[in-house]
Amino acid sequence: MMKNTLKTVLLILGILLSFYGLLSLFYPELLMLEILSSSGNTKQAVAILALGVLTLLSGLGFKKR
């Protein structure tokens, strides 16, 4: 039961982080990131996207036993 809950949380968190990373990469004006950082800085968006993909992959890595 606990592994299934952890898998669900990791999948949801991975999807949310990936979505936020993609939004901040392609549409920074929607998230008001343009005001907070320089307009050419995409390192943070790429890092958030990578973290989301890693979280998603770790959630998919859990198997039922």
Residue 33 confidence (pLDDT): 54
**38: CB partners within 8 A, 6+ apart:** none
Contact call for residues 9 and 30 (beta carbons, < 8 A) = no
Which pLDDT score is estimated for 38? 55
Q: pTM value?
A: 0.76
Give the C-alpha separation, 43 to 40, whole Å: 9
pLDDT confidence of 14, banded at 50, 70, 90? very high
Report, as an integer, the average pLDDT of 45-65.
Answer: 86
What average pLDDT does the structure give for the chain? 81
